[in-house]
């Protein structure tokens, strides 16, 4: 029987690693290459690395850095940030990355999912939906590090992504990002009922019990976290960690 994947999620800003709280208040964590080396030793299931600058600044992916990350990684690697064309995606795959993650592009140009899926297979194409509550309590999709709101309906968008050939869906709660008080299960209950592709959840994990609860609720699911695997203790000292026998 397949088991759930437990996935550290790392954010790149100015070529270094940072951790955010509700997509703000960036805290520097360290060098991305050294962090990948540590996660290699800890034999993590999979690693997700997201460049949070590229799309906002209108830059192409940092292929030189991606090349270094892929060469160093001894685990399946998912990379996202700034990918706007199938040619860029193809170049990233040729560098040795197993999956590419599309966020703003997936929402605004879902046709690209079909192009990449037809090129490499749907299993290598991930769509990341950043979702937050509006002042009226309604869940909304946001892009560009939560600076822009997408007017479309979440259910319609998920159906469209699946029809286009996305192989995995990542649901990232903006409101729970970096807070470390548990996942947004109200949001996840809603989304879980809508999707027929593998689902990974992100945003809010503060303890191993949060991960265990998510797996028990949703069974086969990817469980991602950032702060949990880079901070230690109530004062959040930076310590890259990944416990053995996590599930």
- 51, 130, 177, 184: which is the annotated catalytic residue? 130
Q: What are residue 6's DSSP bridge partners? A: 223
What token pair was written down for 125? 């194409």
Confirm whether 130 is a catalytic residue.
Answer: yes
Alpha-carbon span 50 to 71, nearest angstrom = 17
What's the CA gap between 176 and 202, in Å, rounded? 9
Q: Identify how many contiguous H helices and E strands the chain contains and give both numbers.
A: 9, 14
List strand residue ranges (DSSP E) for the chain, in order. 5-13, 16-21, 24-30, 47-51, 77-80, 99-102, 125-133, 139-143, 148-149, 168-173, 199-202, 222-225, 231-232, 237-238
Residues recognised as catalytic: 130
């Amino acid at each position: 029987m397949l088991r759930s994947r437990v996935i550290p999620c790392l954010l790149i800003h100015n070529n270094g690693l940072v951790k955010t709280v509700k997509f703000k208040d960036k805290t520097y964590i360290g060098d991305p290459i050294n962090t990948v080396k540590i996660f290699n030793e800890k034999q993590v299931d999979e690693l997700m690395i997201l460049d949070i600058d590229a799309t906002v600044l209108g830059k192409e992916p940092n292929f030189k850095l991606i090349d270094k990350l892929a060469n160093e990684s001894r685990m399946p690697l998912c990379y996202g940030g700034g990918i706007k064309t199938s040619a860029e995606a193809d170049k990233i795959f040729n560098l040795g990355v197993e999956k590419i993650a599309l966020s703003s592009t997936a929402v605004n140009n879902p046709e690209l999912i079909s192009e990449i899926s037809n090129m490499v297979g749907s299993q290598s194409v991930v769509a990341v939906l950043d979702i937050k509550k509006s002042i009226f309590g309604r869940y909304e999709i946001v892009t560009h590090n939560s600076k822009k709101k997408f007017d479309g309906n979440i259910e319609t968008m998920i159906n469209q992504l699946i029809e286009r050939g996305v192989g995995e869906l990542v649901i990232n709660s903006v409101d729970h990002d970096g807070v470390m008080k548990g996942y947004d299960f109200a949001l996840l209950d809603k989304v879980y009922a809508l999707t027929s592709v593998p689902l990974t959840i992100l945003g809010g994990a503060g303890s191993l019990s949060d991960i265990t609860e998510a797996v028990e609720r949703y069974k086969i699911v990817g469980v991602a976290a950032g702060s949990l695997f880079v901070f230690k203790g109530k004062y959040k000292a930076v310590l890259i960690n990944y416990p053995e026998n996590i599930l």
